[in-house]
Every structure is written in structure tokens, then in C-alpha cells.
Chains A and B, each alone.
Chain A
Amino acid sequence: MANESVPQSSTARELLATVRDLTHQVRVAQRGTWFPLLVFATITLLAIPVYRYGPYVDLFGTCRSRADQMVCSGENPTQLGYWTVALVLAYAAIAGFYVKRSRRRGVGTPIRPYIVVGVALAILMTAVSILLVFHPLLPVPADPFADPGELEVGPAVLLVNWLASPMAVIGLALLVLAWVERHGALLAYSLGYLATVATLDGRVIHATSRWFFLPHLLVPAAVLLLGAAAFAALRPDRQVQGR
């Protein structure tokens, strides 16, 4: 029996190694990481003209006027509308890309959880943003025209505000994609991306320029574009694609 057991064990090991190898091959063939990153970089760059030229539509009645001054609190509904529509369209495009690619390569895609979570987060972001307009976590000054000065903001407030930001929503959904694709490099990249946008969102920019928002959009867009380029260039599935 002992003599029989040795080859049995070695065969079992070989079979398990084959299972692991085939699983890895399929996962590599299923990955299309560069595309979502490229789509999100594109919609982040397209947000620049919306932020600069999009009118402040006082949808929630948060604006106060005095002489030649107008002060509005809360997120610009135009920007919020842009992000909601752009994110949903982005996930539709990503789903379409994965499904088409799956049919072309002949191997199914596990992308559904990523799309579902991504769209759910986009809707949650919109809901939280609207909720924050009516129930702001930051103290509202009695005189909206006065300089608010330096505000003491606790970590909980920062966290809720951060979760309502489109950049964080993109990053959180990327964590789901990393899990779906069992992609360690994407997991590390997503955590790096989230740390970058958290650092940016935690900074208050005191500026009179109408382009003051640029770092908040250009930095994430650059990180996403670099990620898309890196994952596209280094993807090991090129051989699979060429078959």
C-alpha cells in the first residue's frame, strides 16, 4: 500500500497543480483591467469643462444673494448630475466591453459583481451628496457671506464626505474588480489610488481662481491613465489574445 501511495500522491499533486495552472490561465484571459481605468480617466478629464463652465443650478435652494454677491453651499447639482450619469454610462460601457471580449475569446466573464457594486456606489454617492445638502455635517455659518475661516473637521465627517466623492466611489469599486479578477497588482494599485484621492480630498484649497479644482481632477485622471497604460502594456494575456 505504501508503495502504491507514493505515485498516488504525486499524481494528486500533479492534478492539483494542473487545476491551479488552468485556473490562473482562465483568470488571465478574463482580465481587461486597462479598460475600466481608461474609461474612468476619460470621464474625470471630461469633468473639467463641467466644473469650470457648468452653471450652478440652485436645485436645492442653497444659494443666498446680496447685492452683487451670491454664496451657495453644498455640491453643485450640475456636477453631481454629471458624475451620476457619467458613472452609470461608464459601467454600461465596461460591461459591454467585457461581454464582447468574452464572446470573442470564448471564455465567460465574472464582471457582474463589479458592475452591480459600481452602479450601486454611484447611486449611493448621489443619495449621500443630496442628503449632505439638507443635513450638512460641517457647521453652517450664521452669516453665509462671512469668511468661515479654518474649520475643525473630525475624521468621521471627512470620511462621509470622502465616500460621497466620485473619485472614492471609483476606487472602492476597483477593489471589487481586483477581487473579481483575483488580481493582486490591481488591489495594490486601487489602494494606492484611494490613498492618493483621500490625501487630495482632505486638503482645502484657498484660491480665487476659477480653475482651483484642477488638482482634484487632474491628479486622479493622471493616476488612472498611468494605471491603464501600465496594465495594458504589462498584461500577460497578450499570448492568449493572439491565439
Chain B
Amino acid sequence: MTDHPANGLDEIVHQRVRLGIMTIAHQARQVEFAFLRTTLQLTAGNLGQHLAVLEKAGLIRIEKGYEGKRTCTWVTLTAAGQAALRAEIAQLKQLIQQVEEGAAATAADP
């Protein structure tokens, strides 16, 4: 039971929105709050809550600054965040593979 890939999924990272935030931050290296909000179609409050969870877990780093007169919040994935994202994607792929293998075995052995 403990070997099942579903058990290896990180509850924090596995949540759809947080996985989305981490994916975007990974690809972008550094991403602004407004870009995340638009791309993920979230309210500022909702996004803020997810960012707080990820920051508390040490998976992202949040920096505030100015771009001209505009205030900006930049999000960067930490090394722990990079590792957690890689692990999550690997677990998801393993989960799909395991289910497919199970389905094939069931079909072959009625």
C-alpha cells in the first residue's frame, strides 16, 4: 500500500492551483503576481492564500518591489520547490503508468 504512487504525492504541491503556480514559476524563473492571477484566472485573495501556503512550506520565495510607480510582487521557486515539482510530476506519471498496467492486466486475465 505504501508503494502506491498516490501515497508519494505531496498534499501541498498536489493541489491544482498550487501545482499551476509552481509550474509557471519554474518555467518563468521569476513571475509577477498579476501574471499568475491572469493566467490561473484567480482572484487576488485566492491567489494570495495559495502563495502563502507555498511560501510557508519553503517552496517559493516572494519579493516585493516597484516597477516604475507600480508595486510588484515577484514569485520565485526555491530549490526545495524545484525538487517538489519534479517529484510531483514523476509521481503523477508513475501513477498513470501503474493504473494503465493494472488495466491491461485485468483485460488480459478476465
Given the complex of chains A and B, what is the CA–CA distance between A5 and B72 in angstroms?
42
Question: Contact: A15 with B16, CB < 8 Å?
Answer: yes
Task: Tell me the smallest distance from the CB of A96 to a CB of chain B, in Å.
Answer: 16
A23 at the interface (CB under 8 A from B): yes
Query: Interface range on chain A: under 10, 10 to 19, 20 to 34, or 35 or more?
Result: 20 to 34
Given the complex of chains A and B, what is the CA–CA distance between A23 and B33 in angstroms?
17
Judged by DSSP, the binding face of A is helix
Question: Contact: B102 with A26, CB < 8 Å?
Answer: no
Question: Contact: B20 with A106, CB < 8 Å?
Answer: no
- Given A9, A15, A26, A103, which contacts B24 in the complex, CB threshold below 8 Å? A26
> In this complex, what residue of B is CB-closest to A22?
B23
A110 at the interface (CB under 8 A from B): yes
> In this complex, what residue of A is CB-closest to B38?
A243
Q: Which residues of A contact B92 (CB under 8 A)?
A: 12, 15-16
Question: Contact: B31 with A108, CB < 8 Å?
Answer: yes
Q: If A19-B23, A19-B89, A106-B34 touch, does A25 touch B39 (CB 8 Å cutoff)? A: yes
A30 at the interface (CB under 8 A from B): yes
Would you give the 0/1 interface string for B71-110, flagging 1 where the beta carbon is closer than 8 Å to chain A? 0100000000000000001001101100110100010000
Q: Which residues of A contact B32 (CB under 8 A)?
A: 105-107
Would you give the 0/1 interface string for A57-98, flagging 1 where the beta carbon is closer than 8 Å to chain B? 000000000000000000000000000000000000000000
- Given A8, A19, A104, A105, which contacts B95 in the complex, CB threshold below 8 Å? A8
Given the complex of chains A and B, what is the CA–CA distance between A104 and B67 in angstroms?
8
Given the complex of chains A and B, what is the CA–CA distance between A108 and B106 in angstroms?
47
Question: Contact: A2 with B106, CB < 8 Å?
Answer: yes
> In this complex, what residue of A is CB-closest to B93?
A16
Q: Which residues of B contact A8 (CB under 8 A)?
A: 6, 95, 99
| 28 sample A-B contacts, Cβ–Cβ < 8 Å, listed by A number | A6-B99, A13-B96, A15-B14, A15-B16, A16-B89, A18-B16, A18-B23, A19-B89, A22-B20, A22-B23, A22-B39, A25-B24, A27-B27, A30-B28, A104-B67, A105-B32, A106-B31, A106-B33, A106-B34, A106-B35, A107-B24, A108-B28, A108-B29, A108-B30, A108-B31, A109-B29, A110-B29, A243-B38
Known: A12-B95, A108-B29, A110-B29. 11 other contacts (CB 8 A): A8-B99, A15-B16, A16-B96, A18-B20, A18-B23, A22-B39, A30-B27, A105-B32, A107-B32, A108-B28, A108-B30
Q: Which residues on A are within 8 Å of B, measured CB to CB?
A: 2, 5-6, 8-9, 12-13, 15-16, 18-19, 22-23, 25-27, 29-30, 103-110, 243
Q: Which residues on B are within 8 Å of A, measured CB to CB?
A: 6, 14, 16, 19-20, 23-24, 27-35, 38-39, 67, 72, 89, 92-93, 95-96, 99-100, 102, 106
